Amino acid sequence: MHTQDISIMINSLLENGQFLTMSRQQPDALKNRVNFSLANNTKVCIQGPGIISFTPQVPGDKAIILSCGIHGNETAPIEICEQYVSDILLGNIAVAHRVLFIFGNLPAMETGTRFIKENLNRLFSGAHANVQANANTYEVARAKELEESVAQFFNLGGAQETRYHYDLHTAIRPSKNEKFAVYPFLHGKAHSREQLSFLLACGIDTFLLSGSATTTFSYFSSHQFDAHAFTVELGKVQAFGQNDMTRFSQVQNTMKRFICGQAIEVKSFNNGDFSIYQVNQVINKSQNDFALDFADDLPNFSDFTAGTLLAHETGCEFRAQYDGEAVVFPNANVAIGQRAILTVVPTNIE
């Protein structure tokens, strides 16, 4: 892009704050890195379409990533992050720490779909490199690009920085526990009680403790960068403009206070304040005829008695192993080899 076009673009962002609109409408214009400063001396770096970081003049001790739209139809988190970015660009709020915003699957936002060719949230930790050589999809390239952005962002900070990554989603089904988070597998490290208490202050009281490595975005940041990282489910998928934003005010306000370095009222940790589950079974689809044995609108966290048939496919039946075992993210419509159901059982944090 010519220097003159870059200054027009920067001026437009400073006037209207519409980074996401620009990213969706003119992704090519944002292909090359652009740096500029706000009137309050916050440094802005556009790393690519849908990828923007902010560095205050005197950065605090945190490096925070807020990502959204890894699935293009999960609109509430996109609207929340869009508002933060716009408010920062317009000088309505000022970050106190280094903050990176990621709007994940831009083309899938246009089509209002979870993804275009494949599930972006199954392509991290290098899984994009394992996809067949001819799978030259947007998602494969995007997973690589997002990994590089995360690496650059986290590696830029010094040892004094604590790293955080909240990957914001909404779920396909209704849920008995509306807001919940997946805590990626920590390979034996202790779960952070402070983080659970912080997320409780955001209105998230239910956690799934993952028991194995995955190819999700939050696991990537957790495992590769030792970040406090979570996949955060904020409610049910709705089309753009159809979200009841009052249901998100607690998470919106608390996250805003977090990135702006303002005090947050956080209760000390008590298992009784939470519903905590351990993942028991990861049920993958391996045949085309994989089918669920419960209703399509059954809410997440519905539980079963031991022995109940949950799903079947040629040559295999999948049953609950414990009384009270509950299902999360059941979806028969996934690619062969991918996760079709998580089952969870109640647990506590040590």
Ligand X SMILES: O=C(O)CCC(=O)N[C@@H](CCC(=O)O)C(=O)O
Active site residues: 233
- Residue carrying the six token digits 């925070």: 64
Span from 4-12, 50-58, 167-175, 189-197 in contact with Zn ion (CB under 5 A): 167-175
Q: Is 179 in the site for Zn ion (CB under 5 A)?
A: no
Report 209-238 residues binding Zn ion (CB under 5 A). none
Q: Is 97 among the residues that bind ligand X (CB under 6 A)?
A: no
Q: Does 169 bind Zn ion (CB under 5 A)?
A: yes
One character per residue 265-304, x = contact with ligand X (rule: CB under 6 A): ----------------------------------------
Give min distance, CB of 288 to ligand X, in A. 19
Shortest-Cβ-distance residue relative to Zn ion:
169
Please say whether the beta carbons of 327 and 300 come within 8 A. Answer: yes
As measured in angstroms, the least distance from the Cβ of 231 to Zn ion is: 8
Q: Which of residues 59-78 bind Zn ion (CB under 5 A)?
A: 71, 74
Minimum distance from residue 114 beta carbon to ligand X (Å) = 7
Among the listed residues 98, 169, 228, 285, the single contact to ligand X using CB under 6 A: 169
Query: Which among ligand X, Zn ion, none contacts residue 343 (Cβ within 5 to 8 A by kind)?
Result: none
Residue 343 touches ligand X, criterion: CB under 6 A: no
Which two three-digit tokens encode residue 254?
């608390």
Residue 206 interacts with ligand X (CB under 6 A): yes or no: no
Q: Is 15 annotated as a binding residue?
A: no
Q: Fill in the amino acid letter for 132.
A: Q
Among 9, 143, 172, 196, binds ligand X (CB under 6 A): 172
How buried is residue 322: exposed, middle or buried, by Cβ count under 10 Å (0-12/13-18/19+)?
middle
Closest Cα partner for 231 from 96, 74, 92, 86? Answer: 74
Residue of the chain from 121, 149, 195, 254 that contacts ligand X (CB under 6 A):
121
Rounded CA gap, 44 and 56, in Å? 9
Q: Is 218 in the site for ligand X (CB under 6 A)?
A: yes
Q: What is the footprint of ligand X within residues 30-89 (CB under 6 A)?
A: 71
Amino acid at 187: H
Decide whether 139 or 313 has the Cβ nearer to Zn ion: 139
Provide, rounded to whole angstroms, the least separation between the CB of residue 119 and Zn ion.
9
Nearest CA-CA partner of 47 in 118, 4, 98 = 98
Stretch that binds ligand X, among 87-95, 167-175, 191-199, 238-246 (CB under 6 A): 167-175
Q: Which is nearer to ligand X, 55 or 105 (CB)?
A: 105
Order across the sheet with 291-292: list the strands.
291-292, 309-313, 316-319
Of these partners, Zn ion, ligand X, none, which one is at the site of residue 62 (CB under 5 to 8 Å by kind)? none
**If binding is defined by CB under 6 A, does position 331 make contact with ligand X?**
yes
Of the pair 218, 221, the CB lying nearest ligand X is at 218
- Which residues carry a binding-site annotation for Zn(2+)? 71, 74, 169
- Which residues carry a binding-site annotation? 71, 74, 169
Interface positions with Zn ion (CB under 5 A) = 71, 74, 169
Interface positions with ligand X (CB under 6 A) = 71, 121, 169, 171-173, 182, 216, 218, 231, 329, 331
